Structure 1
């Protein structure tokens, strides 16, 4: 069943008004008709099974048949703090991280970050990245649309993590104690976890010390050196398995 996200203001009693790009997609791309079923989510883990009731020039009216709470969200929120990679790697990272269940993505500027964006380019990138998150959320039937935040410098990101998450883990190529890593992951009985991933070239030692000084836990992802686009998805996959409920 095709899935769409709406805002609460689009709901009126048992009817939902669909406009804009979703209207165009339903009418002109999918060519759905009156009587066809669609799935609508309010972006806050509430889902509505609906039937298309009216198709007008600029809007579609859907009738709510059933209301449910989304069961696709993890019990623990995962926030990914991703060092800005080169080229379009972040687009792939966002897409796959959303599919895997991440709650929020924060692009970060570190000492080894090569990419530099001015404010105008950053604004366009953030808009595009959030569009990729929306598309991935629809495809994977998420109950929310994970937000891609504005780019933060490293210290700003650490401060944000300290205020927003219960535990921060930071995969680091010089971390070697797999037993300690497994114990950390096994004992993550928290509501929110932050993951810090470096860009190409990883973190500098001083950045790791800075993170540890603010309570972050260095972990290892094994004996192999992973690319930045692999490392984050690797630990998110591990945590997804850890936090997934029946």
Structure 2
């Protein structure tokens, strides 16, 4: 059943009012009609099975049939700081990372980032990433849409990480040193309901200077196994490992 995220204000007296681009998606893309059912979620804990009532060019109204008690979220809140990379890699990380359960994304300018975000273009880039996150959250039946933060410097990422009890740095040199069990041991320290902050570099990875700064501030350097993966693969690897550790292997 198709899922749509709506504003809290859209739910009133057992009726959900859908506006914006979702109206076109419901009527033109999905070709739905009155009587068809969807799931509506307000991104704040409300989730309900609804029946379409009226469709127009401006809005769609749906009657709430039953509230749902669902839980499709990872047991831990995973925050991904990802170094700005070329092409559509940031978009791919947000899309696939959302499907795999990430709670928040922090694009940042790393020392080895080739791409730089222009301040004037940043609002449009963030709007694009937020749209991607919304669509991926709906497709994967997430209960909450992840947050996409404005881009940061590496120093700001380190400062943000200080708020977290559990924080990891994916570092290529750790893989070369063969310290593969470190990630497994680190995940054993995290309890369900806690948060985990992970830094992943761009093409070329994290520089030695950045790694030293992160480790000074309590980040644990981890390997993703004996193979060196691309920057856009690393967030998906670590989210999959977290899902396996907390959801599949128990």
Band of TM-score, shorter chain: over 0.9
What is the aligned-residue RMSD (CA, Å)?
1.5
1:214 is the counterpart of 2:217: yes
Give the Cα–Cα distance (whole angstroms) in 1 for the partners of residues 165 and 44 of structure 2: 21
Q: CA deviation at 1:146?
A: 0.8
Aligned length: 245
Residue in 2 aligned with 1:52?
52
Alignment check: 8 A CA contact 1:112 1:204 kept: yes
Q: CA deviation at 1:140?
A: 0.4
Q: CA deviation at 1:186?
A: 2.1
Give the Cα–Cα distance (whole angstroms) in 2 for the partners of residues 50 and 154 of structure 1: 44
Residue in 1 aligned with 2:168?
169
Alignment check: 8 A CA contact 1:4 1:40 kept: yes
Residue in 1 aligned with 2:24?
24
2:198 is paired with a residue of what secondary structure? strand
Give the Cα–Cα distance (whole angstroms) in 2 for the partners of residues 47 and 180 of structure 1: 38
Give the Cα–Cα distance (whole angstroms) in 1 for the partners of residues 234 and 29 of structure 2: 36
Normalised to the residue count of structure 2, the TM-score between the two structures is: 0.93
Give the Cα–Cα distance (whole angstroms) in 2 for the partners of residues 19 and 93 of structure 1: 28
Normalised to the residue count of structure 1, the TM-score between the two structures is: 0.94
Q: CA deviation at 1:232?
A: 1.5
Residue in 2 aligned with 1:243?
246
Give the Cα–Cα distance (whole angstroms) in 1 for the partners of residues 191 and 215 of structure 2: 20
Give the Cα–Cα distance (whole angstroms) in 2 for the partners of residues 61 and 189 of structure 1: 41
Give the Cα–Cα distance (whole angstroms) in 1 for the partners of residues 181 and 138 of structure 2: 37
Alignment check: 8 A CA contact 1:16 1:64 kept: yes
Alignment check: 8 A CA contact 2:78 2:197 kept: yes
